[in-house]
Amino acid sequence: MLIDGHGRKVDYLRISVTERCNFRCQYCMPEKPFSWVPKENILSFEDMFKFVKASIDQGIKKVRLTGGEPLLREDLDKFIGMIYNYDSNIDLALTTNGFLLKNVAQRLKDAGLKRINISLDSLIADKAAKIAQKDVLKDVLEGIFEAKKVGLHVKINCVPIQNINDNEIISLLEFCKKEGFVIRFIEFMENSYAKSGLKGLKSSKIQDIISTKYHFKKIPRNSTSPAQYFALDDGYEFGIIEPHLDDFCASCNRIRLTAEGFLIPCLYFEDAMSIRDYVRNCDIDGAIEILKKVLSNKPEKNKWSDESEGDSSRAFYETGG
């Protein structure tokens, strides 16, 4: 079992398989980075798998593949299959912008993917294009419906931003309710890569907006979920991810691996240690020692909850959100 320096059990590995992306979301990567990580610095799926296997042996129970945009990486279905064939009980999930999903959803499901989170910030084509800086809505919706059709469990992620998509909170919730998807609104996490001047909606504001039309109750928090869930009177449940509240971190069970092989203990901070040379040299014990070192130094909480602190200097597209 993996335990961090604050006594929290860590059983969730999130892997950013690439930092590249086909969108330029204003809150994440508004400009193409000055340079991408050179291809030779990126871990192959074979090398990532060596680490995944060892971390499953150490007690990891859930693996999520993210990015950047993970569907840009060729052979993602094969990587999923490698993990599934090693341990079919692993909760195997993917976070994607959905743009390339339509043609690969069945393959991902067949390989062993169980759950998929798809980002959807607007149901209005012009607005979706403004946020992603590309005309994306039609392809994303097709991807979402294909994922549903092939039997993947779909959750929708939405980042509400003032004066951009804050007037769509109810329509996005109603769309997800109708289609049988859970929606999670994510508070915008300020970071130095986002377009300057963006203001996200805090959880209380999101709840105020929903309460203009629906009555809902807070559901007691599941100890490892980053989201606080709420139930409408008809039983439909939606979530809000509230990094600006301290209790977001109290039960943090996750560790993040980047495409370059850095282990990142917390989304807010810049701390990281590399396992790349260890896995490339098949020194798996060495990689697990690094993992344990990183966990022993995992911060107790992020600093989004501290208004006097500045933005995080971590890039979401590198770390995987």
Strands, sheet with 91-96, edge to edge from the N-terminal-most edge strand? 216-218, 227-232, 237-241, 182-186, 153-158, 115-119, 91-96, 62-66, 12-16, 254-257, 262-264, 273-274
Residue 239 lies near ligand SF4 (rule: CB under 6 A): no
Residue 77 lies near ligand SF4 (rule: CB under 6 A): no
Return the number of the residue (132 or 291) whose C-beta is nearest ligand SF4.
Answer: 132
Torsion 216-220-222-226 (CA) sign: positive
Residues numbered 83 to 102 that lie near ligand SF4 (CB under 6 A) are 97
Residues numbered 77 to 96 that lie near ligand SAM (CB under 6 A) are 95-96
Q: What is the CA radius of gyration of the chain?
A: 19
Binds ligand SAM by CB under 6 A, chosen from 159, 169, 245, 291: 159
Residue 163 token pair = 């004066």
Are the beta carbons of 183 and 172 closer than 8 angstroms? Answer: yes
Question: How many C-beta atoms surround the C-beta of residue 143 within 10 A?
Answer: 26
Residues numbered 92 to 151 that lie near ligand SF4 (CB under 6 A) are 97, 119
Only one residue has tokens 């990689």, namely 287
Return the number of the residue (8 or 184) whose C-beta is nearest ligand SAM.
Answer: 184
Encoded one letter per residue, x for contact with ligand SAM by CB under 6 A and - for no contact, window 96-135 reads: xx---------------------x----------------
Residue 320 lies near ligand SAM (rule: CB under 6 A): yes
Residue 62 token pair = 């859930």
Residue 68 lies near ligand SF4 (rule: CB under 6 A): yes
Instruction: Compute the distance between CA of residue 74 and CA of residue 26 in angstroms, rounded to an integer.
Output: 26
Residues numbered 6 to 45 that lie near ligand SF4 (CB under 6 A) are 21, 23-25, 28-29
User: Which single residue brings its beta carbon nearest to ligand SAM?
Assistant: 321
Binding site for ligand SF4 (CB under 6 A): 21, 23-25, 28-29, 67-69, 97, 119, 316-317
